[in-house]
Amino acid sequence: MVGLGYGFRTVRLLNRSLIRLIAGFLVGLGLTVSIAACSPVGNSGSQVELTLVSFAVTRSAYESIMPLFAAKWKAEHQQEVVFNQSYGGSGAQARAVVDGLDADIVNLALALDVKRIEKAGLIQPGWDKDIPNGAIVTHSVVDLVTREGNPKNIQGWSDLAREDVRVVTANPKTSGGARWNFMALWGAVTQKGGADPQAQEFTAQVYQNAPLLPRDAREASDAFFQQEQGDVLLNYENEVILARKKGMDLPSVLPTDVNISIDNPIAVVDKNVDRHGNREVAEAFVQFLFTPEAQREFAKAGFRPVDPQIVQEFASQYPTVNKLFTVKELGGWNEVQAKFFDDGAVFDQIQASLRG
């Protein structure tokens, strides 16, 4: 009996202190929250906050576009626009928005990622109809970076399947963006009249030639450039241009016979702008991105512009591709994902066939 009573007392004591401890913990948590919340979120009057979540390499373009827009908005509305910016891998960024990152505008590497946010109920269906050019704000294509002087004489897609060529490309499984490379390889066959089995054989051959599958385009270019792996690097034209600007010396061959149009979509996150009360400025910013002055900045940063006037202006920098195909020609995003990248789909089959 004594033991029992003792036990009870322990439990009661434990409970009381437990409550105190939990209370303490919550107070601490509350404090940190309030510290975090201290940053001003005044979306009325003289200041308005806008959060852009984008894939990694768009930053240099936005750094120049944002001041332009802020000046314009200030002149028209006497309101200061304060930008919050977040850059990272497209898939990771989309997941963050789905999980509660307060993005007002998303600009991602592929529409599939925007569709995920739509599916989570944060973006209204039909977002791509309200924005110019089907919500595609920039383009790019796949570029083949070679070694100095092109010792392996790589001229186009078919050379990638040659047995003496080692190819470096990011892994479509870890990098959403790297799926463009895979689709470019596939389309290089099918868009020239080849059938699916041939396309699969060709892509399998290319991945057979890939000694490593880095996580993303950036790491692929370091593996190629810094660690001198492989003879040719599959990368996006915009990344190649950016890398060149930052001092990497990358000779490249752009396949202009047939290439994929890498379309980077933009969208306003409806749920968030309605909560923040900044829909007007968010939509104005998106519209602004399609103006010639914003498009020019994208073009400077390495992206193919979508504004015809700026396309003309940068014609020498961005050679025309004879047969440019889009995801639609491969059956649209849903089919592409199911056919190529899902568990047990083509990419898995290719990897399994390369085993051993």
Partner 1 sequence: MTLNTGTTIDRSNPNLKNATQSGENSRLKWVLIGFVVFYMSLIIFIPALNVFYQAFQGGIAGFLHTLTEREFLNAVRLTIVIAAIVVPVNTIFGLCAAWVIARNQFPGRALLLSIIDLPFSISPVVAGLMIVLLYGRQGWFGPLLQSLDMKIIFALPGMVLATAFVSLPFVAREVIPVLEEVGPEQEEAAKTLGAKDWQVFWRVTLPNVRWGLVYGIILTNARAMGEFGAVAVVSGNIVGKTQTLPLFVEEAYKQYQTQAAYTAATLLACLAIVTLIVKEVVERRSGLKRGTH
Partner 2 sequence: MTSTTQSQPSRRERGKFSLPSMPWRVTILYLSVMLLLPIVALFAKASTLSPAKIWQIATDPVALSAYDVTFTTSLAASLVNGVAGVIIAWVIVRYEFPGKKILDAAIDLPFALPTAVAGLTLATVYSDNGWIGALLAPFGIKVAFTRLGVFVAMLFISLPFVVRTVQPVLQETEIDVEEAAWSLGASSSQTFWRVVLPPLLPAILTGIALGFARAVGEYGSIVIISSNIPFKDLIAPVLIFQRLEQYDYTGATVIGLVMLLVSLVMLLGINLLQAWGRRYDA
| 96 in contact with partner 1 (CB under 8 A) | yes
Least spacing, CB of residue 155 vs partner 2, in Å: 26
| 86 in contact with partner 1 (CB under 8 A) | yes
Q: Interface residues for partner 1 in 111-130 (CB under 8 A)?
A: 120
Spell out the residues 6+ positions from residue 316 whose beta carbon is closer than 8 angstroms to its own.
none
Least spacing, CB of residue 140 vs partner 2, in Å: 20
The entry of partner 1, partner 2, none that residue 212 binds, CB within 5 to 8 Å by partner kind: partner 2
- The dihedral of CA 216, 304, 98, 333: what is its sign? negative
Q: Which is nearer to partner 1, 246 or 355 (CB)?
A: 246
- Pairing type for strands 105-107 and 47-55 reads parallel
Q: Which is nearer to partner 2, 25 or 153 (CB)?
A: 25
Report the C-alpha gap between 141 and 259 in whole angstroms. 6
User: Could you say which of 218, 276, 296, 304 contacts partner 1 (CB under 8 A)?
Assistant: 218
Report the C-alpha gap between 270 and 274 in whole angstroms. 6
Q: What is the DSSP letter of 303?
A: P
| 242, β-bridge pairs | none
The entry of partner 1, partner 2, none that residue 32 binds, CB within 5 to 8 Å by partner kind: partner 1
Rg (the chain; Cα; Å): 25
Least spacing, CB of residue 85 vs partner 2, in Å: 20
Please report which helix (H) or strand (E) contains residue 143, including its range.
strand 142-146
What residues line the site for partner 2 (CB under 8 A)? Answer: 6-7, 10-11, 14, 17-18, 21-22, 25, 91-92, 95, 116, 171, 173-176, 211-215, 219, 222-223, 226-229, 341-343, 351-352, 355-356
Least spacing, CB of residue 80 vs partner 1, in Å: 16
Report the C-alpha gap between 60 and 47 in whole angstroms. 24
- Of the candidates 113, 111, 69, which has an alpha carbon nearest to the alpha carbon of residue 89? 113
User: Could you say which of 64, 77, 92, 293 contacts partner 1 (CB under 8 A)?
Assistant: 92
Spell out the residues 6+ positions from residue 22 whose beta carbon is closer than 8 angstroms to its own.
none
| 35 in contact with partner 1 (CB under 8 A) | yes
Q: What is the DSSP letter of 325?
A: E
Least spacing, CB of residue 299 vs partner 1, in Å: 18
Q: What is the largest CA-CA distance in the chain?
A: 93
Kindly write out the interface string for residues 58-77 of this chain, putting x where it contacts partner 1 by CB under 8 A and - elsewhere. -xx-----------------
Amino acid in the structure at residue 343? D
What are the helix and strand counts (H, E) for the chain?
A: 15, 11
Q: How far is CA 276 from the centre of its chain?
A: 24
Q: Interface residues for partner 1 in 170-199 (CB under 8 A)?
A: none
Length of the chain: 356
What angle in degrees, to the nearest 10, is found between the helix axes of 179-190 and 196-208? 130
The entry of partner 1, partner 2, none that residue 59 binds, CB within 5 to 8 Å by partner kind: partner 1
User: Could you say which of 68, 101, 284, 311 contacts partner 1 (CB under 8 A)?
Assistant: 101
| 102 in contact with partner 1 (CB under 8 A) | yes
115, 267 Cβ separation under 8 angstroms: no
| 39 in contact with partner 1 (CB under 8 A) | yes
Range in contact with partner 1 (rule: CB under 8 A) among 106-114, 241-249, 256-264, 276-284: 241-249
> What are the residues binding partner 1 (CB under 8 A)?
29, 32-33, 35-37, 39, 51, 53, 56-57, 59-60, 84-88, 92, 96, 98-102, 120, 218, 239, 242-243, 245-248
